């Protein structure tokens, strides 16, 4: 009896409902074509080491093709090459990777963002306007404070002190005591950024 066409499907985890939907779609499309799917999902979400081990398991199963969503698009490059070396065609999804693939399936993030923004503006009473455009990192820094907060134990009591920079002599002296328990920078959370920009635009 001829073995059915086998498709190995790699996804990052079992906690993201989008990946559950992707696995279901792969099963349905394969079934319609008379093929079967083998799913390879790390038990620990987004675990690179486990996905590397799963690549070995997939190669042992000798699939006819692979759909690959890498946990990490750089660390998994050597593992992608193992499929190419075995002559197994691969389609990568979500994250582009260096290496030999048949195709890449992804989305145009700019177009998705533009469409989402248009829908949001249309739903707002009186319309809307863009008040801030930048990366999350830059916005968190711009709306945060360039200071450092250190928590330390002094005579059994927890003390909290703010310093202007990471190389402040007072902070360095405190760190040298060995009593520091936590050190935090004061960049804003994205929720803080949202509150700040919407309040300024009101």
Angle between helices 48-61 and 77-85 (to 10 degrees): 10
Question: If you search the block for the tokens 């202007």, which residue do you land on?
Answer: 164
- Using CA atoms of 41, 43, 47, 53 in order, give the dihedral in degrees to the nearest 10: -70
109: three-class secondary structure by DSSP:
helix
Average pLDDT over residues 134-160: 87
- C-alpha dihedral sign at 46, 52, 55, 57: negative
- Using CA atoms of 118, 124, 126, 132 in order, give the dihedral in degrees to the nearest 10: -60
* pLDDT in the model for residue 163: 92
- Rounded to whole angstroms, the Cα distance separating 110 from 9 reads 27
Question: If you search the block for the tokens 């059994």, which residue do you land on?
Answer: 156
pLDDT confidence of 119, banded at 50, 70, 90?
A: confident
Neighbouring C-beta atoms of residue 79, cutoff 10 Å: 23
Tally: H helices and E strands in the chain: 7, 8
> Is pLDDT at 192 greater than 80 in this prediction?
yes
Q: What domains, with CATH codes, occur in the chain? A: 6-105 (3.40.50.2300), 127-201 (no CATH)
Regarding pTM above 0.75, the answer is: no
For residue range 21-61, list pLDDT tens digits in order: 999 999 999 999 999 999 999 999 999 999 999 999 999 99
Strand partners, 184: 149
For residue range 75-95, list pLDDT tens digits in order: 999 999 999 999 999 999 988
């Amino acid at each position: 009896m001829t073995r059915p066409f086998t498709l190995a499907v790699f996804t990052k985890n079992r906690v993201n409902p989008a990946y559950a939907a992707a696995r279901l779609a792969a099963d349905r499309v394969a079934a319609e074509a008379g093929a079967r799917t083998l799913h390879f999902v790390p038990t620990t979400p987004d675990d690179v080491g486990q996905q590397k081990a799963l690549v070995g398991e997939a190669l042992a199963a000798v699939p006819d093709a692979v759909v690959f969503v890498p946990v990490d698009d750089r660390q998994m490059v050597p593992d992608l090459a193992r499929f190419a070396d075995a002559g197994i065609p691969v389609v990568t999804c979500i994250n582009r990777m260096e290496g030999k693939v048949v195709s890449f399936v992804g989305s145009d993030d700019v177009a998705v963002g533009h469409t989402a923004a248009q829908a949001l503006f249309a739903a707002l009473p009186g319309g809307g306007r863009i008040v801030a455009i930048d990366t999350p990192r830059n916005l968190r820094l711009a709306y945060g404070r360039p200071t450092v907060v250190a928590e330390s134990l002094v005579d059994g009591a927890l003390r909290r002190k703010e310093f202007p920079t990471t190389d402040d002599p007072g902070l360095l002296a405190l760190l040298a005591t060995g009593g520091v328990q936590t050190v935090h920078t004061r960049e804003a959370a994205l929720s803080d950024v949202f509150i700040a920009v919407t309040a300024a635009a009101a």
